Amino acid sequence: MSNLQSPQSQKPNMLRDKSIIQGDLDRVSIKRNDEQWIESCLKEDSALLIPIFDSKILILKETDQSPVFVNPTEVVHISDLLKRTILLGQKHEKTYFALNVEEEETAVNLCKHKNAEFKDLRQVIPFVNAQDYQFLALARFMVYWNQKNQYCGICGIPTRSAEAGNLRICTKDECAEHHFPAMDPAVIVLVSNGDKCLLGSQPGWPKGMYSTIAGFVEPGESAEDAVIREVQEETGIRTKNIIYQSSQPWLFPGSLMLGFTAEALNTEINIEQDELDDARWFTREEIRNNVASGVMRLSSKVSISYELIKTWYEKDNNSKLDF
């Protein structure tokens, strides 16, 4: 369509904030089949396990809501760990694993030992730094994916874990289907109109919370077409000059968020009640004053939504978005 600007036709204004772009995790994929190497890693002090119980993460019972990473010696025997851990990768000379905590007794013991509790990751995102969020979200997703794919989607026969939890293979010889983790593409967009940007609030969100418009890419649809459709469906706003900015895995449960900016062709909002409770145009001053007074909340600082708003807010503006 004529109002699209593809990444190929225009140099994208990439978001470079390290809270969004996390490319320094070594996934050590060539080691995933080497059980001897994995076992040796689990014996090292540099190994860190991220316990996941009932899709929840382990958090200290302190006001700072710090996540708890544990050493393998604090949990169970190595032989058990090989079956229950998922290799995530290496970073800063440490090897990270997700630990699937299945038994409530084990979860209770971990909580007592660490003076901690298992909490929903979304509850503590505002208190978690970008690096910790990267590992917590990945660990949560990989445990969730393994639990969800214990049976083959082709023949229904049980699957087995392979490649240190990063692959599941159908145990039926005639099938032997390989199932890999996957993320669903979604778009998220900051729509602007002069000195205003478009933000919406969804049902079930905390009161006063606003974010950029987002939605899933449908089969056979380009990301740019998804931006046009989602914004118009949810708010009645038509868009132009759609420009890719950056991407972020948003593993709730498994999305790859593709961030865009766009300009509005009209300003009259007509919200889709099933998708949004409210949608409004906000000036920079309105955002600053509303957040300062407590009547408005933005998405977590580790989210691509916040980065899109921040980039727009600070463009040609002397003030910084630091709230």
pLDDT by 10s per residue, the chain, length 323: 333 333 333 334 444 343 344 568 999 999 999 999 999 999 999 999 999 999 999 999 976 789 999 999 888 665 678 889 999 999 999 999 999 999 999 899 999 999 999 999 988 998 888 889 999 999 999 999 999 999 999 999 999 999 999 999 999 999 999 999 999 999 999 999 999 999 999 999 999 999 999 999 999 999 999 999 999 999 999 999 999 999 999 998 899 999 999 999 999 999 988 889 999 999 999 999 999 999 999 999 999 999 999 999 999 777 888 87
Residues 143, 56 contacting (CB under 8 angstroms): no
Would you give the distance in Å from CA 260 to the centre of its chain? 17
Evaluate whether residue 22 is within a structural domain: no
DSSP assigned state of 158: B
Query: Is residue 262 in a domain?
Result: yes
Q: How many domains does the chain have?
A: 3
Same structural domain for residues 36 and 139? Answer: yes
pLDDT at res. 22: 52
Collapsing DSSP to helix, strand or coil, 136 comes out as: helix
Question: Could you tell me if residue 1 is inside a domain?
Answer: no
DSSP code at position 174: T
CB atoms within 10 A of CB 149: 16
Is residue 277 within 8 A of residue 202, CB to CB? The reply is yes
| Contact (Cβ atoms closer than 8 angstroms) between residue 243 and residue 260 | yes
Q: Are both 159 and 219 inside the same structural domain? A: no
37 & 158 share domain: no
Q: What's the distance, CA 91 to chain centroid?
A: 19
- b/e burial code for range 178-197 (CB count within 10 A of at least 16 → b): ebebeeebbbbbbbbeeebb
3-class DSSP assignment, residue 262? strand
Separation of alpha carbons 180 and 177, rounded Å: 10
229 membership: H or E segment, kind and range: helix 223-235
Relative to beta strand 239-250, strand 255-264 is antiparallel
Q: What is the CATH number of the domain that holds 113?
A: 3.90.79
DSSP 182: -
| CA–CA distance, 101 with 118 (Å, rounded to integer) | 11
Please state, as a whole number, how many other Cβ atoms lie within 10 Å of the Cβ of residue 132. Answer: 17
Residues 83 and 174 in one domain: no
17 falls within a domain: no
Considering the domain architecture, whether residues 246 and 273 belong to the same structural domain is answered as yes
Does one domain contain both 278 and 165? no
Q: Are 165 and 85 in contact (CB under 8 A)?
A: yes
Classify residue 63 by burial, with Cβ atoms within 10 Å: 0-12, 13-18, 19+: exposed
What predicted TM-score, i.e. pTM, was given to this entire model? 0.86
Residues 194 and 154 occupy one common structural domain: no
Q: What is the CATH number of the domain that holds 288?
A: 3.90.79.10
Say whether both 211 and 143 belong to one domain: no
How do strand 159-162 and strand 167-170 relate by DSSP bridges?
A: antiparallel
Torsion, Cα of 52, 119, 296, 252 (10° steps): 30
253 preceded by cis ω (within 30°)?
yes
Tell whether 156 and 41 lie within a shared domain.
Answer: no
Claim to verify: residue 307 and residue 277 sit in the same structural domain? yes
Task: Assess if residue 16 is contained within a domain.
Answer: no
What does the pLDDT read at residue 76? 65
Task: Report the distance separating Cα 10 and Cα 192, nearest Å.
Answer: 18
- Angstrom CA distances, 271 to 13, 124, 143, 236, stand at 29, 30, 36, 6
189 domain residue, yes or no: yes
Same domain, 140 and 158: no
Are 189 and 309 part of one and the same domain? yes
* Domain encompassing residue 300: 184-314
Closest by CA to 88, choosing from 38, 159, 126, is 38
323 is a domain residue = no
**Percent with pLDDT over 70 in the chain:** 91
d(CA 59, CA 51): 10
Q: Where are the alpha helices (DSSP H) in 89-200?
A: 104-114, 121-124, 130-148
Q: Is the residue at 112 inside a domain?
A: yes
What pLDDT, on a 0 to 100 scale, did the predictor assign at position 82? 84
State the pairing for strand pair 167-170/178-179.
Answer: antiparallel
